[in-house]
Structure 1
Amino acid sequence: MNNVAENLEEKDCISRKFDNPLEVSQKEQPTKKRFIVLFVICLIYLITYLDRVNISIAAPFMMEEFGLNKMQWGIVLSVFSWTYAISQVPVGMLCDKFGARKTLSIIVTWWSVFTVATSWVWNTASLVIVRLMFGLGEGGAFPSATRALAHWIPATERGFAQGLTHGFSRFGGAVTPMIAAFIMSLWGWRSCFEIFSVIGLIWAGVWWFWFRDTPEEYKEKWGGINQIEIDKIQGAKDTIVKSKPKLKFKQLLKSKNAWFLCLSYPTYCYTVWIFMTWLPSYLVEARGFDLLHMGFFASIPLLAGTVGDTLGGIISDKIWKKTGNGKLARRIVPMSGMCIAAAFMIPGALTESAYMAVFFMACSLFGLEMAVGVYWATCLDIGNDYAGTISGFMNTIGNIGSALSPLVFGAVLQITGSWIYPFMVASSILVIGALLWLKVNPEMKIADELNLE
């Protein structure tokens, strides 16, 4: 009888165990550690724009203190742009070789040091040298961050991830003027660079201590991530082999896929830098806003762009998940967004209403920013272990557009005397960039295209 009772009790326990499938299924759910990694990476995108945009707020004070005219100040700013561009590929390659943990820790520390060094400058020459070194550091940020995501984000979540990271960067650009102005009003322009540098140094220390380049390394060091999440990450993307052939730069230049992607990206960069450099002047000179109202209305397109960043990536990922068609998912979103941007930019320049002009420009930047997350997600799609190199190459070519944008826009404005024609030029350039996406194949891996063995 006792044996029978024990058997019945055992069966009852087994029955109760399987009568609660929710408890069993909950134990089988993947952890969410990749989203914590993504959030920490988003913070560095925000910090890059805090440290990058603050100098534009300090500009009047610095120009007055050092006796710089607008042309000389333009040279100071251009030093950052060109050194930022030339460091993309080398740092991307170093990141592919040594990993994002080491590379990002070093370069964030590097540019944070030169952020605070900006507060120590005493003349134009010292300012130029510091900004040159600052640009070299920041140049590796986005390629290295993209490389970090290569091991942590599944292919079907990459659009969302890249859209969110760039959304944080745009949000950083939108809030920096308010934060920097507040700090400068209390303690002067030099204090702004000192305080902002501390933020980067703290991030670099946390990153070095906490982050690991792969989920497996993270699990071994910290735990907190289960095998189901690791399998989800690795199952949705190509398996990243531990022993990989080296991708030389001269080999990269033979990739038609990478070239079409990289040639399209400058059209995006050209246009987005119009909003970063010329929009405030446009609102004051062409639309008659005073400085206080300009500051408010200039932030509206940037905030709209923040939404577009995240939404574009989400839409692209959903299309990929639903259709299984990477070409469709990665092409349709940036092409649509860039066409939306081109379409709204012209009425934004033509309308007689200043408020409608802001609305149209916000719609334009919203559409434009839908594309950026997909650009960087495609670097992951085709790059995998070479994502740092691919994204660095793309950003280098893209920054040619960024550097030319304020110059070409200003030249067209000077020659024609009208604000309409510079926007028409940008609109036409965007259409070309959208069409180039037809030749980009996100499902073609760089290793397969170049037969890397």
Structure 2
Amino acid sequence: MVGGGDFKMSEKPTKVRYIVLFVVCLVYLITYLDRVAISVAAPLMMKDFGINKLEWGLVLSVFSWTYASFQIPIGLLGDKLGARKVLAAIVCFWSLMTVATAMVWNFTSLVVVRLLFGVGEAGAFPTATRAFAHWMPSTERGFAQGFTHGAARFGGAITPLIVAIIMNAWGWQSVFYIFAAIGLAWAGFWYFWYRDKPSEYKERWGSINQAEMDLIDGGKSAKKAPPKLPFRTLLKSKNMWFLSLSYPTYCYTVWIFMTWLPAFLVEAKGFSIIKMGIFASLPLLAGTVGDTLGGWLSDKIWKKTGNGKFARRVVAMSGMLIAAAFMIPGAMADNANMAVFYLACSLFGLEMAVGVYWAVCLDVGHEYAGTVSGMMNTIGNVGSALSPLVFGAILQFTGSWVYPFLVASTILVIGALLWLKVNPELSIVEELGLDKLEEEKQAKAQ
């Protein structure tokens, strides 16, 4: 009996959590396939529908309106119903809106579809983050978030080439039909295979052992039901406000790379369209590496030092300051190839931070990870919405490409400093006294 017990104690954990991570990475990649496709198809769509540049700018921007507005509601829904149901449903919904994009007939119908598409994609990252709440141990959350966001950036980097090939063969409408089919296939598999908790997965599939379940939850096989978290109570969290106010500085800057980098390379650096298509993907590929490295490094530091505040802060702040430092020479370099190199270094540093941002949502949120990440991403997307407009306005007013990058660099420094007030070791439950509030509520009910 003793030998059998010793054998069980030394049992190696299975790796089911990494399969979950891989499947979630696929949906992150799909979000960017569907999100970026319309930008690549823009010339043909504008020509077919007679849409001018101002109208096209509105088509692209309305996505951000609903994307930001529905982060918190769908995050709350994910916390309540679980990632299995909610993520499958929203992927199906935005995939249907992707089909609808191929079926629009004029400017107005396209704007309506893009608004609805934003509603669907709004819940992707908060609900996927909720999926990790029961599947990733604290010392692997940074790696998981960095890896998933790296998959998203990789999706953005490969989309132009994939879309160009499909459009050349079958026309722009086929792009949206094919991408929608990929999303629907993923949603079907996710609902069939995924389970919200390792214990539920074990009951259904039986391929996860107790050693991995103990590793994920620290050996606590039973947890009491969490107290409720009203959204107005979440707004009292100073920790979340500092995290959420720092995140728009990241979003503001990353959207410069998503929206203005192609024009910068063509107009300021003299690249041809074909050369721009190749070189514009290089910073995004560098960002993919930064995503994965930042999360992994933060986890390693936490595991080595046992100091969560230091582990999360040092990686996020270093990455943002690296991004700020390389952005200015990227804008000022006379040599076009060196400009791309500097900007690739900048995005590499910037993306080191993103996995850490989302890991902190798990660190402090736990059962409320969907709600917490929804709050952060909602406020963050204010930066995403402002970025193209502010960058363009500064460019128009000054006539210089340097000043818009200088503003972004300054904003990043502010965002890095805000990390000094973020504490990943202070849970929402502890900070807001949710257990005590729940006890008082139950006492009054009695």
Task: Report the TM-score, using the length of structure 2 for normalisation.
Answer: 0.95
Instruction: For residues 48-84 of structure 1, give each alpha carbon's deviation from its aligned partner in whole angstroms, at most 9, with x where no partner exists.
Output: 0000000001111111111111110111111111100
Q: Aligned pair 1:119/2:89, yes or no?
A: no
Return the letter of the residue paired with 1:423.
F
Q: 2:16 aligns with which of 16, 22, 33?
A: 33
Which residue number in structure 1 is paired with residue 76 of structure 2? Answer: 93
Which residue number in structure 1 is paired with residue 161 of structure 2? Answer: 178
What is the deviation of 1:125?
1.3
Aligned mates of 2:130, 2:222 — CA distance in 1? 12
Alignment of 1:1-400 (within 5 A): 28-235=11-218, 241-400=223-382
Aligned mates of 1:353, 1:367 — CA distance in 2? 21
Aligned mates of 2:8, 2:131 — CA distance in 1? 30
Task: Please say which of residues 325-334 and 27-36 is displaced more in the overlay.
Answer: 27-36
Identity rate, percent: 71
**Residue pair 1:345, 1:427 contacting (<8 A) in 2 also:** yes
**Residue pair 1:240, 1:385 contacting (<8 A) in 2 also:** no
Q: 1:417 aligns with which of 399, 402, 406?
A: 399
**Residue pair 2:331, 2:405 contacting (<8 A) in 1 also:** yes
Unaligned runs of 5+ in 1: 1-13
Unaligned runs of 5+ in 2: 436-446
Instruction: For residues 144-169 of structure 1, give each alpha carbon's deviation from its aligned partner in whole angstroms, at most 9, with x where no partner exists.
Output: 00000010000000000000000000
> 1:239 and 1:429, CA in 2 relative to 1: closer, same or farther beyond 3 A?
farther
Task: Please say which of residues 70-79 and 431-440 is displaced more in the overlay.
Answer: 70-79
Aligned mates of 1:376, 1:89 — CA distance in 2? 15
Return the letter of the residue paired with 1:198.
A
Aligned mates of 2:381, 2:226 — CA distance in 1? 29
**Residue pair 2:214, 2:221 contacting (<8 A) in 1 also:** no
What is the deviation of 1:245?
1.5
**Residue pair 1:240, 1:384 contacting (<8 A) in 2 also:** no
Return the letter of the residue paired with 1:79.
V
Alignment of 1:434-449 (within 5 A): 434-449=416-431
What is the deviation of 1:241?
3.4
Aligned mates of 2:52, 2:322 — CA distance in 1? 38
Aligned mates of 1:295, 1:246 — CA distance in 2? 49
Provide the secondary structure at the position in 2 that maps to 1:28: coil
Aligned mates of 2:331, 2:109 — CA distance in 1? 40
What is the deviation of 1:41?
0.4
**Residue pair 1:297, 1:358 contacting (<8 A) in 2 also:** yes
Task: Report the TM-score, using the length of structure 1 for normalisation.
Answer: 0.94
Which residue number in structure 2 is paired with residue 9 of structure 1? Answer: none
> 1:123 and 1:318, CA in 2 relative to 1: closer, same or farther beyond 3 A?
same
Aligned mates of 1:241, 1:375 — CA distance in 2? 26
**Residue pair 1:342, 1:427 contacting (<8 A) in 2 also:** yes
Provide the secondary structure at the position in 1 that maps to 2:271: coil
Aligned mates of 1:25, 1:206 — CA distance in 2? 32
Provide the secondary structure at the position in 2 that maps to 1:119: helix
